[in-house]
């Protein structure tokens, strides 16, 4: 195997963290900001990209890091190596309520495609690259952008999903429609596209976005019930406006009437 073989255990229910056990000289690569705690004897190093281009010299390192700019991620990632004697443990935490799911790339043909902000950490040797869509429509209307991340190799990776996770195994030719923000990731065999919702009333008043993500099997897909964009939108809508009064109707006409009835009639 090219990737390091790591053991792990996931703790918690709604705010989970994953504890990875490293043998001597084993390592794990993670997104900046996901580190929680570690035993002494583990060394931390910041690298360009995911480290997969280290053997290709300076240009390989720059190219590996440059691809991450396209996904909106940091130029750098963090790698942790067990340089001590015996087994050591290190933990990585989820950034908001949800679940951590392990992805064994050997079970999915060595490749898995996911949203750019779903990746948490992986065994050293797993390549975290860029998946370019072949259809422009996905980039213009896909909700999560033209570019997604691809995880390649033969090791373990860990993804974070918001809320509750649904795992769907699609048969050949079977198709499902998903809110673009709720799509976490899918196997390489799945045909992925973006479909217009359609209908004037759906478009103007539906409140569910203008496009669906359509996945056609065969393959496996993971869907999240609470994407961070939806959570952030609800939080932003509940923030009190200037003067300390909250929005009772999240910006609606009825919310304005409620403000007047409640005495919030500043002119």
β partners of residue 220: 169
Is 14 a member of any domain?
Answer: yes
The larger pLDDT score, comparing residue 256 to residue 188, is at: 188
Predicted TM-score of the model (pTM): 0.77
Is 220 a member of any domain?
Answer: yes
Is 245 a member of any domain?
Answer: no
The rounded distance, in Å, linking the Cα atoms of 205 and 214 is: 22
CA 100 vs. chain centroid, Å, equals: 10
The rounded distance, in Å, linking the Cα atoms of 5 and 165 is: 25
**Residue 31's pLDDT is what?**
84
The larger pLDDT score, comparing residue 186 to residue 203, is at: 186
Is 237 a member of any domain?
Answer: no
Give the CATH number, domain containing residue 167.
Answer: 3.60.160.10
Distance of CA 117 to CAs 114, 121, 158, 238, Å? Answer: 8, 11, 12, 24
Is 252 a member of any domain?
Answer: no
Quote the tokens at residue 239.
């923030």
- Residue with the two structure tokens 């490293």: 22
Give per-residue pLDDT as tens, 73-106: 556 789 999 999 999 999 999 888 899 999 999 9
Give per-residue pLDDT as tens, 114-141: 987 889 999 998 988 888 665 545 544 4
Quote the tokens at residue 248.
């009772």
Is 189 a member of any domain?
Answer: yes
The larger pLDDT score, comparing residue 76 to residue 51, is at: 76
Domains identified in the chain, total number? 1
Is 85 a member of any domain?
Answer: yes
CB 154 within 8 A of CB 3: yes
Q: At residue 46, does pLDDT exceed 90? A: no
Domain extent at residue 69: 7-231
Is 34 a member of any domain?
Answer: yes
């Amino acid at each position: 195997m090219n990737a390091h073989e790591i053991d792990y255990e996931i703790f918690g229910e709604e705010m989970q963290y994953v504890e990875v056990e490293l043998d001597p000289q084993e390592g794990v690569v993670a997104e900046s900001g996901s580190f929680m705690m570690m035993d002494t004897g583990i060394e931390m190093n910041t690298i360009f990209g995911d480290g997969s281009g280290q053997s290709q010299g300076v240009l390989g390192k720059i190219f590996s890091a440059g691809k991450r700019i396209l996904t909106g991620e940091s130029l750098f990632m963090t790698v942790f190596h067990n340089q001590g004697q015996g087994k050591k443990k290190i933990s990585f935490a989820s950034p908001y309520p949800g679940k951590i799911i392990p992805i064994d790339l050997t079970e999915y043909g060595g490749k898995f495609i996911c949203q750019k902000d779903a990746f948490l950490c992986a065994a050293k040797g797993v390549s975290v690259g860029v998946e370019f869509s072949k259809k422009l429509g996905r980039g213009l209307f896909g909700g999560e952008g033209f570019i997604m991340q691809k995880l390649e190799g033969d090791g373990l990776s860990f993804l974070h999903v918001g809320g509750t996770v649904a795992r769907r195994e699609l048969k050949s030719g079977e198709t499902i429609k998903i809110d673009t923000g709720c799509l976490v990731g899918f196997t390489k065999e799945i045909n992925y596209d973006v479909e217009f919702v359609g209908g004037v009333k759906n478009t103007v008043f539906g409140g569910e976005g203008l496009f669906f993500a359509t996945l056609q099997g065969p393959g496996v897909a993971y869907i999240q019930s609470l994407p961070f964009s939806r959570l952030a939108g609800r939080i932003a809508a509940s923030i009190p406006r200037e003067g300390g009064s909250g929005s009772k109707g999240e910006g609606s006409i009825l919310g304005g009437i409620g403000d007047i009835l409640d005495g919030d009639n500043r002119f």
